[in-house]
Amino acid sequence: MIHPVAVIGAGPYGLSTAAHLRARGIPVRVFGEPMVSWRDHMPEGMLLKSTPAASNIDAPQPGHTLGDYCAAAGIPRLVTDEDIIPVETFIAYGEWFRQKLVPELEQVRVVSVDRGSGPDAAGSGGFDIKLDSGESFTARAVVVATGLSGLAHLPPELAGAAADGPTPSGPVSHSSQHHDLRRFSGKELIVVGAGQSALETAALAAEAGAQVRVVSRGKGAVDFGAPPWDQPKLRPESPFGRAWSLWALSYYPQPYRHLPAEARHYLVRRVLGPLGAWWLRDRFEGKVGVREVERIVSAAATDGQPVLTVRTHGGRVEELTADHVMAATGYRVDIAAMDFLGHELRAGLAASRGTPRLGAGYCSSLPGLYFTGLPAASSYGPVMRFVCGTEFASPRLARHLAAAHG
Ligand SMILES: Cc1cc2nc3c(=O)[nH]c(=O)nc-3n(C[C@H](O)[C@H](O)[C@H](O)COP(=O)(O)OP(=O)(O)OC[C@H]3O[C@@H](n4cnc5c(N)ncnc54)[C@H](O)[C@@H]3O)c2cc1C
């Protein structure tokens, strides 16, 4: 019997990988809620930071770019670096891509993945997969494309005010738990962080009628990028702006996995690090307060209200209060948090600081188990944190999988 490949995830990476595998004639079953991170875990009214050229979900055949979607949907084409993409348009693009190229998507959760017992077509045991529909089956290979799911990061210093974990109705939440920011209308909100997500969420909440302060670590941490017309002309163009480093990391991620671990982890964190989009500055400045501190010492809740204890740059300790604190503190890859992967699989994976160590073709140390998107960033570089990384990842992963398990 020919077992299918299981692709877990129906965001940009899962859909793109599935399209490439299908184009090679490989039987594939694809699981997940299409574009759910974008629909439920990002704020309504958000605009993408990436430019149209850097927001294509890679397909094996032409005709499936964001521009192609706009033309098909009869909406103004998003083409130049000055065109800004509303999140709703990007979600609709993902849905259109799915209907055209991954029509068989199954909207169920994968509950567990374990090493298989019976021999598969490639002579190994494959993987035993259980779904929340109650079905079980054997897959010859598995592609983990679960993106941001389950990886929201709450810094330990904020955990004191979130004894049962962050929740939107408690004193502290994570930005991924919000979609509609109108709940903060008339309230005082502290947003912790200085990245695009923090700054855009703060601006949107202020526009929804909240009184918002951004609390960030370091001096001058809140900053915005240069508009396209002010980018340095003598440096090469990349999807993220003009710079040699961005150009190399965007178009040549192949050698990245051979760098020393220290350098790989540093670059994933620092390159394309916190910086607001150029178009956000006018919506942010004068509307959102900024409090730069040396560090947040701790957080507590008094009568359900959060109290942040901070250490200022002058060395004083102060308390900041609000109706709610939202941590816009990003996502951290941690294999331990991917609890749908069986214990034996997780324990057997070669890992580096909680992230899977991937070889050629995005294959992990366990033959047949592949990771793409965010969990691949420590092996293939920061471009894997963004949609445009599908252009590099998906064809290579599909080629490797076809050769090893096709
Ligand atoms: C606020 C914010 C703004 C962003 N803006 C941009 C931007 O402008 N441009 C850009 O390029 N990137 C942006 N990103 C990054 C972007 O989210 C990722 O690049 C992209 O979503 C990753 O796609 P993915 O397919 O890997 O995962 P996701 O889009 O997170 O999709 C994960 C999929 O996995 C499925 N899944 C998870 N667990 C299971 C399971 N057990 N069983 C079955 N299915 C499962 C989910 O249902 C979902 O379909 C932004 C991120 C955030 C948080």
pLDDT of residue 308: 96
Comparison of pLDDT for 22 and 251, the residue scoring more: 22
37 and 108 belong to one structural domain = yes
Position 81 scores a pLDDT of: 80
pLDDT range class, residue 120, cuts 50, 70, 90: low
Ligand 1 pocket check for 340: Cβ under 6 Å: yes
- Give the pLDDT band (50/70/90) at residue 391: very high
User: Stretch 347-363: mean pLDDT, rounded?
Assistant: 94
CB 48 less than 6 A from any atom of ligand 1: yes
Residues 317 and 354 in one domain: no
The owner of tokens 């779904």 is 131
Across the range 238-256, mean pLDDT stands at 78
Q: Specify the residue with its C-alpha closest to ligand 1, atom 9.
A: 50
Does residue 375 have a pLDDT over 50? Answer: yes
Verify whether ligand 1 is closer than 6 Å to residue 384 (CB atom).
Answer: no
pLDDT band of residue 268 (cuts 50, 70, 90) is confident
Mutate to test the pocket of ligand 1, among 133, 338, 387 (most ligand atoms within 8 A of CB): 387
Q: Is residue 394 part of a domain?
A: yes
Here the tokens at position 375 are 């969990």
**How many other CB atoms are found less than 10 A from the CB of residue 185?**
12
pLDDT at 118: 61
Number of folded domains in the chain?
A: 2
Parent domain of 345: 5-150+332-405
pLDDT of the residue at 121: 43
Are the C-beta atoms of residues 211 and 189 closer than 8 Å to each other? yes
Q: 394 and 340 share a domain?
A: yes
Same domain, 66 and 98: yes
Of 237 and 34, the structure prediction assigns the larger pLDDT to: 34
Q: Which 3 state secondary structure label does DSSP give 340?
A: coil
Does residue 361 belong to any structural domain of this protein? Answer: yes
For residue 78, pLDDT over 50 is answered with: yes
The mean pLDDT value for 215-244 works out to 80
Assess whether pLDDT exceeds 70 at residue 124.
Answer: no
Same domain as 122, residue 60: yes
End-to-end CA distance of the chain: 13
What is the spatial distance between Cα 235 and Cα 245, in angstroms, rounded to a whole number?
Answer: 10
On whether residue 194 sits in a domain, the answer given is yes
Q: Per the domain annotation, does 236 fall within a domain?
A: no
As a whole number, mean pLDDT of residues 241-258 equals 80
Judgement on whether residues 344 and 381 belong to the same structural domain of the protein? yes
Question: Ligand 1: distance of its center to the CA of 107 in Å?
Answer: 15
Q: For residue 291, what are the β-bridge partners?
A: 215
CATH number at residue 163: 3.50.50.60
**Residues 377 and 290 grouped into a single domain:** no
Per-residue model confidence (pLDDT) at position 272? 64
Are 310 and 166 part of one and the same domain? Answer: yes
